Amino acid sequence: LQRPASALKEMLENSLDAGATQIIVTVKDGGKALLQIQDNGHGIRKDDLPILCQRHTTSKLREFEDLLGIQTLGFRGEALASISFVARLSVTTMTEGAVHGWRASYTDGVLEAPGPRPTAANRGTLISVEDLFWNVPLRKKALKGVGEEYRHILDVMGRYAVYKAGVSLTCKRQGEARSDLHTLAGASRLDCIRCVWPGGWLGGCTVCVCVCVCVCVELGWLAVGVGGVGRRASR
């Protein structure tokens, strides 16, 4: 893990692997203070919570042969473990049909006592990562400013929004009503590109218009020139 955006990438992939159609990311101080990701995926079973952040623990491989046809974005069981070693990680999750959810916190890959507590929740998973690199001062110091770290986060979000067009992705700063990135569920890839790079799209159109104008002007001059030559020839 190098920066908040790399932790976010891992968690985004987990939400997508969980079949989420809506993912909301909330960020505080460029992800240094808080990185929260909420999805409406299949959730995590209570029995899996004690080992959730242990290294090499994954639910994505059941048999050896699964390695031959990997369909998920992750399968090594490293990400949550790595994050729990350098941040305060908590999870609230609820599976389909459950009457309530569970909340659990982790340190250094280990579930904190007294274990998962029942809580109200929606189907899916909410993971909060607080104080990233609190125990790795050098890494923390190497992070860039809030604005630049947030730009990295938006960059990752934008790329996944286009890659997984149709899944609704939202990214906002904590306390802000307005989101900085929002794509709609069921949106086409073109719509997602327009949404993620509105400037780029506008820029592209501007270039097209300029090229068209230049071509027309050139053709106009050509027509005038040809007309002039024609008139001189007829005289």
Binding site for ligand ADP (CB under 6 A): 10, 14-15, 18, 39, 41, 43-44, 52, 57-60, 74-81, 125
Between 56 and 141, whose beta carbon lies closer to ligand ADP? 56
The letter for the amino acid at 134 is W
Amino acid present at 148: E
Least Å from the CB of residue 78 to Mg ion: 8
Site string for Mg ion, 42-81 (x = CB under 5 A): --------------------------------x----x--
Residue nearest to ligand ADP (CB): 74
Residue 76 binds: one of ligand ADP, Mg ion, none (C-beta under 5 to 8 A by kind): ligand ADP
Distance separating alpha carbons of residues 201 and 185, to the nearest angstrom: 21
Q: Which does 180 bind (CB under 5 to 8 A by kind): Mg ion, ligand ADP, none?
A: none
Question: From residue 10 to residue 29, what is the string marking binding to Mg ion with x (rule CB under 5 A)?
Answer: ----x---------------
Size of the site for Mg ion (CB under 5 A): 3
| CB-based contact 55:80 (threshold 8 Å) | no
Shortest distance in whole angstroms from residue 124 CB to Mg ion: 16
- CB nearer to Mg ion: pick between 57 and 179: 57
Let me know if 167 is exposed, middle or buried by CB neighbors in 10 A (0-12, 13-18, 19+): buried
Of 16 and 111, CB closest to Mg ion: 16
How far apart are the C-alpha atoms of 85 and 110, rounded to whole Å? 9
Is position 125 an interface residue for Mg ion (rule: CB under 5 A)?
no
Question: From Mg ion, ligand ADP, none, which one binds at residue 7 (CB under 5 to 8 Å depending on kind)?
Answer: none
Residue 43 DSSP code: -
Helices 79-86/4-17 angle, 10° precision: 140
Separation between Cα atoms, residue 205 and residue 210, nearest integer Å: 9
Q: Which is nearer to Mg ion, 50 or 74 (CB)?
A: 74
Which residues 6+ apart lie within 8 Å of 223 measured at CB? none
**DSSP secondary structure string for all residues of 105-144:** EEETTEEPTT--EEE---SEEEEEEESTTTT-HHHHHHS-
Task: Pick one of Mg ion, ligand ADP, none as the site partner of residue 75 (Cβ within 5 to 8 A by kind).
Answer: ligand ADP
Separation CA 54–CA 38 (nearest Å): 21
Measured from the CB atom, the residue of 75 and 85 that comes closer to ligand ADP is: 75
Nearest approach in angstroms of CB 169 to ligand ADP is 14
Residues at the site binding Mg ion, with contacts judged by CB under 5 A: 14, 74, 79
